[in-house]
Amino acid sequence: MEDITPTTPDEDYAASLGTAEKMLGFRLERFLEATKGEPSNSADFKRIATVHTFGDAWTRSEHMDIGTRSLVSVTIAASLGILEPLRGQVRIALNNGVTKEAIVEAFIQIEAYAGAARAFDSYQIAAQVFAEAPNTD
């Protein structure tokens, strides 16, 4: 039987931050700190988004494995042209065992369906992350 021990919002947030660190290779807190002029509820947005993304969505594994989920996320970020999040998604994919070759194959599909300009622009980010990653060849 599944453990249904209730958790607190703080426990969910801490667990989500832990999942994010495992996937990204660094802590997210530096991106979540309040900046000048932010309203008091900005912390709520950041907590909710972190828990939903890294606590709810990424941890689902019954119907989609983490590698596939990683490639889907790379494809979405690249197709939308959101380059800094794409950098993180490529890191997550590599940290989840997706090969550089599989990521390149995703870019072939991106080019076919989202267009060459978007694919080439986004691929430059992937190439930068590839260069930073340990060589697994």
**pLDDT score of 65:** 95
**pLDDT score of 31:** 85
CA distance 21 to 92: 10
Q: Does domain 64-137 have CATH number 1.20.1290.10?
A: yes
What pLDDT digit, counting tens, does each position of 19-45 carry? Answer: 999 999 899 888 888 889 999 899 999
Q: What is the pTM of this model?
A: 0.84
User: Helix or strand or coil: residue 73?
Assistant: helix
**pLDDT score of 133:** 82
The token pair that represents 117 in the structure block: 């300009």
The token pair that represents 137 in the structure block: 């060849």
Half-sphere exposure of 61 (CA within 13 A, CB side): 7
DSSP code for 64? S
Q: Where along the chain do its domains lie?
A: 8-59, 64-137
CA distance 59 to 65: 9
**pLDDT score of 136:** 58
pLDDT at 122 exceeding the cut of 70: yes
Q: Are the C-beta atoms of residues 15 and 83 closer than 8 Å to each other?
A: no
**pLDDT score of 9:** 73
